[in-house]
Amino acid sequence: MAVDFNLKDFLDKKVDTYNQPGFIQHDPISIPHQFSARQDIEIMGFLASIMAWGQRKTIINKCNELIKRMDGSPYEYIMQHREQDLKSLLGFKHRTFNDTDILYFVSFFKQHYLQFESLEDAFLIRQETKEKVDLEQALNTFKEYFFSLPDYPQRTRKHISSPAQKSTVKRINMFLRWMVRKDNKGVDFGIWNRLSPRDLICPCDVHVERVARKLGLITLDKVNWKTALELTGNLRLLDADDPVKYDFALFGLGVEREL
């Protein structure tokens, strides 16, 4: 794709429009913004991204319900709960995500945080170089690691996507954007330093895909991992250091139906 500087100018302006605190209120990213501690931000950011399908208002309400069920302190609840405390999670449900799934997530988080201070480490397993992370490998390995506990529920695997499944891995890529991107706009957190914004893959949901096709940023017929790679590759021509910032523009244009 040849770089279209008019397109770049247009999208840069739309990034400025949507990458600002007013975006937070009605978006699932508002959930981790309720916290200041790194682990709480990571835990609720991950859960909010995994449950991010359906109406945004419902997603936010269900995440707030989950926070309440964990006594308002997700990390403390996960690390210090007794078995009887887990009863507070029974009956939780958001679409196909239910109490069986959240109970396994709690088990995974506890096991992970007993070994590491940050969830970022879960995405750096088997990475041979610190200069550049192979995100495709990282996402595939993350799923293996996530389900490395014995007797994990088979039904829960559907909630963690990977490139090996030819998925766009939209939800986890969105979570990674939240944790990795760094600017002073007050939306993304930028609390991870070993993964770089250069390594990220653009989340590819229905809004982003529709707008990206109209702008010629996606040409592939099917929507899968290759589609996410094509989109991100074209966005790198507009900004090699921070291609995923254009997620704001594409998603915002899609939701507002400006095109």
- Is the CB of residue 198 less than 8 Å from the CB of residue 242? yes
Q: What is the pLDDT of residue 13?
A: 96
**pLDDT exceeds 80 at position 258:** no
- 3-state SS class at 29: helix
Mean pLDDT of 84-107: 98
- Sketch the domain layout of the chain as residue ranges: 5-256
SS3 labels along 39-97 = HHHHHHHHHHHHCCCCCHHHHHHHHHHHHHHCCCCHHHHHHHCCHHHHHHHCCCEECCE
**How many helices and strands (H and E) does the chain possess?**
10, 2
How does pLDDT run across 115-151, given as a tens digit for each residue? 999 999 999 998 866 667 899 999 999 999 999 999 9
Q: What is the pLDDT of residue 126?
A: 84
* Cα distance between residue 56 and residue 116, in whole Å: 31
Q: What tokens does 101 get?
A: 């799934």
- 3-state SS class at 98: strand
Which residues, 6+ apart, have CB-to-CB distance to 72 below 8 Å?
none
- Is the CB of residue 203 less than 8 Å from the CB of residue 247? yes
What CA–CA distances, in Å, run from 228 to 134, 143, 201, 220, 242? 15, 18, 7, 10, 15
How does pLDDT run across 39-57, given as a tens digit for each residue? 999 999 999 999 998 899 9
pTM for the whole structure: 0.95
* Cα distance between residue 144 and residue 65, in whole Å: 29
How does pLDDT run across 224-257, given as a tens digit for each residue? 999 999 999 999 999 999 999 999 999 999 987 7
Tokens 């396994």 map to which residue? Answer: 104
* Cα distance between residue 203 and residue 219, in whole Å: 16
25 versus 44: the higher-pLDDT residue is 44
* Cα distance between residue 199 and residue 249, in whole Å: 19
Which residues, 6+ apart, have CB-to-CB distance to 132 below 8 Å?
196, 198, 199
* Cα distance between residue 206 and residue 223, in whole Å: 9
Q: What is the pLDDT of residue 1?
A: 56
Helix axes 5-18, 246-256, angle to 10 degrees: 80
- Is the CB of residue 51 less than 8 Å from the CB of residue 94? yes
How does pLDDT run across 172-186, given as a tens digit for each residue? 999 999 999 999 999
Nearest to 225 by CA among 165, 142, 166, 161: 166
